[in-house]
Structure 1
Amino acid sequence: MSFRQELLRRATARRARIVLAEGEDPRIRAAASRLRGGGIAAPILLGGPD
């Protein structure tokens, strides 16, 4: 099993949460969507309108 596969397996099994700064950035939103959609982690986005 590759390092990446093992990392994803562990994160999925633990129902990991990850905090992502700059939540208004489209790239961060896309990454958060992939994490949630793949069941890998529950992303928490920080940032927004000031």
Structure 2
Amino acid sequence: MPQATRITLSLLAQRIEHHTRQIDELNQRLTRLVERHAPQLLTPVGIGPDSAVTL
């Protein structure tokens, strides 16, 4: 049983790492788009790319 748990946790960790990399890449793309098309939206404190895109 411990081996099955280790394998399962290892696979889960790999998925988390993969999804984290994808999220980071998408956030970078989103930031570049906002910087290119509406950089003034990033000026106020507390406004990040996600909020800027929503606006």
* TM-score between both structures, scaled by the size of structure 1: 0.35
| Structure of higher CA gyration radius | 2
Q: Which has the higher strand share?
A: 1
The structure with the greater share of residues assigned to helix is 2
Q: Does 1 or 2 have the higher relative contact order (CA < 8 Å, sep 6+)?
A: 1
